[in-house]
Amino acid sequence: MKIISYNVNGIRAAINKDFLGWLSAASPDVICLQEIKAQHDQIPLLDFESLGYHHFWFPAQKKGYSGVAILSKKQPDHVEYGMEIPQYDQEGRFLRADFGDLSVVSVYHPSGSSGEERQAFKMQWLTDFQQYVHQLREQRPQLVISGDYNICHQAIDIHDPVRNATVSGFLPEERAWMTEFLQSGFVDTFRTLNSEPHHYSWWSYRANARANNKGWRIDYHMITENLKPRLQAARILPEAKHSDHCPVVVELED
């Protein structure tokens, strides 16, 4: 089972950069999208159906902002929109699709980079998200939580850990949360299989950052530990350029 996660930074903008052609060639079984920035009536749904995908969209109430989606070749048994927490659900941040015993989540963690208020929102989200997932695991113990976490976990995950030590996305309290989340029973699939530096999934549009590979690894496939024996591959695809992020891939044995 090949699962891709991709923060497209606007699905319409990505489509204008031949996202659909890329998706056809990549041919994942499931793709989780973040930051779709579009309502249902702004998305060419038939184009996705023509590629063989069932599609599920959870846009933010605010137009042109946030939102997540899941596209899958197989029809899910159930799709759950949101976490039943209004302040997060109105921003379209969490979408779950169940395939037998396996559940795949597309998640878009808040950014705190715009100021103290949103950083506080982000930290509260992290607490509430972890509590929600802990409860979810009681009913759905096999979870793949894919998306943009907006956190670099370790120094190896960021091009300049010293200068960014006080920047949202690499703050000590955010990194500590990530450590605690992993210790609660999750696996960072990419780092499990790859211990090399200089692998990133997001680059600033400024200062030629992508060309110089001065990036951050903030997009993850987190799996519950009970799925680790099924983990076959985990990759980052920096050659795909429809966004300031790039896709990340995980492959699980069926």
Residue 148 designated active-site: yes
Report d(CA 104, CA 76) in Å as an integer.
Answer: 10
Residues contacting 21, CB < 8 A, separation 6+: none
The pair of three-digit structure tokens given for residue 185, joined into one six-digit string: 């029973």
Cα–Cα distances (Å) from 160 to 134, 168, 169, 216, 217, in that order, read 33, 13, 12, 9, 12
Report d(CA 93, CA 60) in Å as an integer.
Answer: 8
Residues β-bridged to residue 188: 222
Which member of 148, 157, 188, 219 is catalytic? 148
CB contact burial 173-199 (16+ within 10 A = b; e otherwise): ebbebbeebeeebbbbbbbeeeeeeeb
Residues contacting 138, CB < 8 A, separation 6+: none
CA-only gyration radius of the chain, Å: 17
4, 31 Cβ separation under 8 angstroms: yes
Cα–Cα distances (Å) from 65 to 16, 59, 88, 120, in that order, read 18, 8, 13, 19
CB contact burial 54-63 (16+ within 10 A = b; e otherwise): bbbbbbbeee
The pair of three-digit structure tokens given for residue 90, joined into one six-digit string: 């109105």
Report the catalytic residues: 148
